[in-house]
Amino acid sequence: MWAALGTIIPISLAVAISSTPIMAMLLILLSPNRNRSSLMFLIGWVLGLGIVVVAFTLFARTVGDPAPRKEQGLVGIALVVVGIATVVLGVVFWLRARGSTSSDMPKWLSAVGSLGPWSAFGLALVLNVRPKALLLSTAAGLSLRGGRLSPGETAIVVAVYVVIGASTVAVPIIATLISPERAEKWLIPTRDWITTNNRTISIVILTLVGIVIVASGLTRL
């Protein structure tokens, strides 16, 4: 289980500092719909994280049951492929950033503040099926398969993944609902900083996590 956690934690940290869900969360917290929509966004985000990683874990476990040594090799190859794809996605983001001088947020994201509770819930679910999120969930599912964990151990590792991955959305929402006046002092500067640096954040995260996933795969070959 510890080996699986060693691979899962960097992946879950990448999920946690992903700029798109954090920016969506900040825009909701700064909107008039804060009290109605923020908690539903959090529920959708946590539920989506859990559903997607469990789905990929179950899918990985349905693909045959070869001898342990051969299974580790197959999981290693799959992790290397996913890691390379993650790095390539980071390179794509970098190339797009080089060709653009604008750091404005996407138009669809600027409308998030007007979402009602169920729309916010649906958006949070959908954010878990972005290409970046799917790659990270695939890596997490493969790591759980490669660890040959018991159902109880799998549940613990999945819970760790979801708790860490959702922490950067959960903590600000809970803090703002408890003390909105105090939270607003850092919500606006944080939003502005992420708006300016979101591309750099994505590039660095994808590249570093991709390397970690590749390294994890190579150790299984």
Percent of the chain with pLDDT over 70: 89
Is the pLDDT score of 3 beyond 90?
A: no
What does the alpha-carbon distance between residue 162 and residue 15 come to, in Å, rounded to a whole number?
9
Q: Specify the residue for token string 């679910």.
A: 125
The interaxial angle of helices 180-219 and 68-98, nearest 10 deg, is: 130
Q: pLDDT (tens digit, 9 = 90+) per residue, 4-51?
A: 788 888 889 989 988 889 999 999 998 888 989 999 999 999 999 999
Q: The pTM is what?
A: 0.84
CA-wise closest residue to 177 among 44, 40, 34, 42: 34
DSSP labels, 45-62: HHHHHHHHHHHHHHHHHH
The whole-number pLDDT of residue 69 equals 59
64: alpha, beta or left? (left if phi > 0; alpha if psi -120 to 50): left
What's the rounded mean pLDDT across residues 176-182?
Answer: 87
What does the alpha-carbon distance between residue 77 and residue 11 come to, in Å, rounded to a whole number?
17
Is the pLDDT score of 209 beyond 80?
A: yes
What's the rounded mean pLDDT across residues 149-166?
Answer: 91
What's the rounded mean pLDDT across residues 108-126?
Answer: 89
The whole-number pLDDT of residue 168 equals 94
